[in-house]
Structure formats: structure tokens, C-alpha cells
């Protein structure tokens, strides 16, 4: 049997001389193991997911924004049109707000004496440290903001984050500087941001405090379920594609992937799954957890199109290492895309999904409509 059936790419990297661009290093020297998977991930993202017909969803879990990845990597990806919608933990958005408010976080070490840190009102996230006052100031910002008139109603998390981003973007403009936070830039670029567990963060805690004061703000997670499914359904109609870039795992991973079972299994609309599944994770699949579940396993749920599994890549490494490399690679290898501005299209997408579901109910067909 000919070896060429399996590979025609010989391992023969050039010698590194210190003059390489990141993208050239990835293409030329990331040959095997998880370096090889990172190369594949970068190439699939840039050569396939960034094609005009593909809608790109991104998930964020883990403490990424406190490490500065919002400013260094996520904001450039959004501005370039490389991310069309986002599912994030609330914690990442809360810590993103520190940067928007110019509340400093500092590099530290993971082996500090934590009792001593607490005695000095210092908070630690592994090797990141900051003053306890940063939390208090951010809490105060949210309590004051959400007491305002735009927030006194029921809304999904995309609208909530849009209103927060609108304020942060305006604040940066008033100070004469470019927005440095993901929330502000997502507002600017029309990128909707959802939180899969809106009560599980300091933002959710402050919203809960407002409820105790008689505030009228209510977060509607059911709206988020249908709205995100509508974005995917809209993306796939008329020959379009849907790709997911999963940073870490956790609840955001499931929330972005469950859009397809929501369309197929629950609403009974014909669909086949996401076209592209790219994940950067340190979670193993053998523990049975969702964070480490493979694209192949997700395919059995209808989350990933079985015909597109060869384009699925999982890279087992730290996101704080891989994401800046991916960002540099994509910006070097692909021109900026026109912004899809999906935030403004949420209503149209929701109405289309609702109409399709009601039409299916009217026909009396069964519920499962997996594409074959």
C-alpha cells in the first residue's frame, strides 16, 4: 500500500534563524503532535472557516480575559471580522470590564502565600494578582449601570451585553481612546455575546442584588437558547456554513454546540450539524466530561455534520499559548472580512426559525429531522 495514500507531507522543516514570522513558523515547523494539531487548526480556521459563506461562533471559558487575551487576541479577531458571535462565561466578561474601566491587573507568581495575599486584600488568579478594590469598583460600575432605564425589562444576554458594551464604547470615545475591551468592540462591530450561565459570575451576582432591590431586569435564558439556534439556522440556510472555535470547554462549549440538536431534535427542522469544529483544550476525553468530548462524539448528538469530521481539529494545549498564535496566523494569512453584524439580524433570524417550527407543527410531522 502506498504511503502517499496517507500523507504526502514530508517532515523536513527549515532551520529556525530568528527571522521567521509567526505564520511561517506554524506552517514550516509545527510538524507533529499538538504542534501539528495547532497548525491544522490554524489552517482550517483561515482557509475554510473564514470563507464568506461561513458564520464563525467562538466560545470562551477559563480565565482568558484576566490574562490579557481579550485585548491582545480577541479584540483583533472581532475587528477583522473573524468572529461573528460569541458564547462566553460571565467571568470572562466581568474581568474584561476591568480593562474597559482601566482597573489594572498584574503579573505575579502562582506560589505566593495566599493567606498573606488575603491579609493585604490581594486577589489571585493563578499568577495574576490585583487589588480587592478592583472587584468592588467593577461591582459598583455594574450596579449603577444596570439601575438605568435601558435595563428595566426582560432581555436575553446578547441584548444585556450590547447595552453594557454600548456604555463602555461611549466611555472610551469620551476619553479619546480606542476601545480595549471585548464587550465594547463587540458592540462596535455588531457581534452578539451570549452567556450560557448568566447567574454564574460576579455580573450575575450583581444582577441578583438588583432584583432584591426591586429592579425589573430579568435575564431570559430561554430566549438565548432559541436566539442562538436561530443564528445557526440562518447561517446554514441557502448553502451557508457554520463553524465553531471552542476555547477551553465547559458550559459555553455545550451551549454553542446544542444549537444543532435544538434545531434538529427539539424543533424537528432538517439540519446536519455544524460544518467546522475546532477546539483548543487541556481536557481529556477519557474522563467522560463535556470539555474533553471529541468532535466525533458530538457528531452522534447531531452537533457536528458527519460529512465534515475530517475538517475537525482538537489541539490539546493551553489556550493562553495557542490563541495568540492563532490570531497572529489568521491576521497574516487572511484579509479582514466584512462584518456580518449578526446582532442587528437577531430578530429576522428568530422570526425565520419560529416560522419554520410553526410550519412543521402544522404539518404534524415527527420531531427528529436530522439531515442525511
Within a domain: 146: no
Active-site residue flag, 303: yes
Q: What is the mean pLDDT of residues 102-117?
A: 96
Question: In the prediction, which pLDDT does 254 show?
Answer: 96
Please give the mean pLDDT across all residues of the chain. Answer: 94
Within a domain: 6: no
Question: In the prediction, which pLDDT does 372 show?
Answer: 53
Give 1's pLDDT tier (boundaries 50, 70, 90).
low
C-alpha cell at 260: 444543532
Cα-based distances in Å from 283 to 66, 248, 279, 314, 360: 21, 8, 10, 10, 39
Within a domain: 39: yes
Phi, psi of 58 (to 5 degrees): -125, 140
Number of domains in the chain: 1
CATH code, domain with 56: 3.40.910.10
Per-residue pLDDT for 234 more than 90?
yes
Within a domain: 315: yes
- Say which range, 132-136, 166-170, 245-249, 288-292, has the weakest mean pLDDT: 288-292
Within a domain: 260: yes
Question: Which position among 53, 153, 253, 303 bears the catalytic label?
Answer: 303
Residue pair 207/143 in contact (Cβ under 8 Å)? The answer is no
* Closest by Cα among 20, 32, 29, 67 to 323: 67
Q: What is the mean pLDDT of residues 295-301?
A: 90
Within a domain: 113: no
Per-residue pLDDT for 82 more than 60?
yes
**183-227 confidence digits (pLDDT tens):** 999 999 999 999 999 999 999 999 999 999 999 999 999 999 999
Within a domain: 313: yes
Cα separation, 248 vs 116, whole angstroms: 31
Question: In the prediction, which pLDDT does 198 show?
Answer: 93
Question: In the prediction, which pLDDT does 6 show?
Answer: 81
159 lies in which domain range?
33-102+151-357
Within a domain: 85: yes
For the chain, percent of residues with pLDDT exceeding 90: 87
Question: In the prediction, which pLDDT does 180 show?
Answer: 86
Amino acid at each position: 500500500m502506498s504511503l502517499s495514500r496517507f500523507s504526502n507531507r514530508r517532515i523536513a522543516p527549515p532551520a529556525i534563524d530568528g527571522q521567521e514570522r509567526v505564520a511561517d513558523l506554524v506552517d514550516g515547523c509545527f510538524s507533529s503532535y499538538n504542534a501539528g494539531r495547532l497548525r491544522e487548526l490554524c489552517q482550517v480556521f483561515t482557509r475554510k472557516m473564514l470563507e464568506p459563506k461561513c458564520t464563525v461562533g467562538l466560545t470562551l471559558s477559563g480565565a482568558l480575559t484576566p490574562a490579557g487575551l481579550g485585548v491582545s487576541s480577541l479584540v483583533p479577531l472581532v475587528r477583522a471580522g473573524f468572529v461573528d458571535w460569541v458564547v462566553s462565561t460571565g467571568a470572562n466578561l466581568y474581568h474584561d470590564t476591568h480593562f474597559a474601566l482601566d482597573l489594572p491587573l498584574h503579573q505575579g507568581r502562582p506560589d505566593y502565600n495566599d493567606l498573606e495575599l488575603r491579609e493585604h486584600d490581594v486577589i489571585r488568579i493563578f499568577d495574576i494578582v490585583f487589588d480587592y478594590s478592583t472587584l468592588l469598583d467593577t461591582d459598583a460600575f455594574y450596579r449603577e449601570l444596570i439601575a438605568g432605564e435601558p435595563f428595566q425589562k426582560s432581555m436575553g444576554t446578547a441584548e444585556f451585553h450590547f447595552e453594557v458594551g454600548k456604555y463602555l464604547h461611549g466611555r472610551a470615545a469620551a476619553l479619546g481612546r480606542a476601545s480595549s475591551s471585548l464587550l465594547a468592540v463587540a458592540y462596535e462591530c455588531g457581534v452578539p455575546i451570549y452567556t450560557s450561565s448568566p447567574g454564574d459570575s460576579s455580573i450575575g451576582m450583581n444582577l441578583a442584588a438588583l432584583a432584591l432591590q426591586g429592579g425589573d431586569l430579568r435575564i431570559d435564558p430561554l430566549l438565548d437558547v432559541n436566539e442562538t439556534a436561530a443564528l445557526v439556522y440562518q447561517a446554514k440556510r441557502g448553502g451557508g456554513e457554520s463553524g465553531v472555535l471552542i476555547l477551553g470547554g465547559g458550559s459555553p462549549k455545550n451551549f454553542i454546540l446544542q444549537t444543532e440538536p435544538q434545531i434538529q431534535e427539539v424543533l424537528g427542522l432538517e439540519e446536519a450539524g455544524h460544518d467546522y469544529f475546532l477546539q483548543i483544550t487541556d481536557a481529556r476525553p477519557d474522563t467522560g466530561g463535556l470539555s474533553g468530548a471529541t468532535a466525533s462524539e458530538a457528531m452522534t448528538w447531531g452537533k457536528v455534520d458527519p460529512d465534515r469530521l475530517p475538517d475537525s481539529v482538537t489541539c490539546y494545549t493551553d489556550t493562553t499559548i495557542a490563541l495568540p498564535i492563532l490570531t497572529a496566523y489568521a491576521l497574516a494569512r487572511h484579509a479582514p472580512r466584512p462584518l456580518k453584524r449578526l446582532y442587528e439580524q437577531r430578530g429576522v433570524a428568530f422570526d425565520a426559525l419560529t416560522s419554520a417550527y410553526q410550519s412543521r407543527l402544522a404539518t404534524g410531522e415527527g420531531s427528529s429531522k436530522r439531515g442525511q
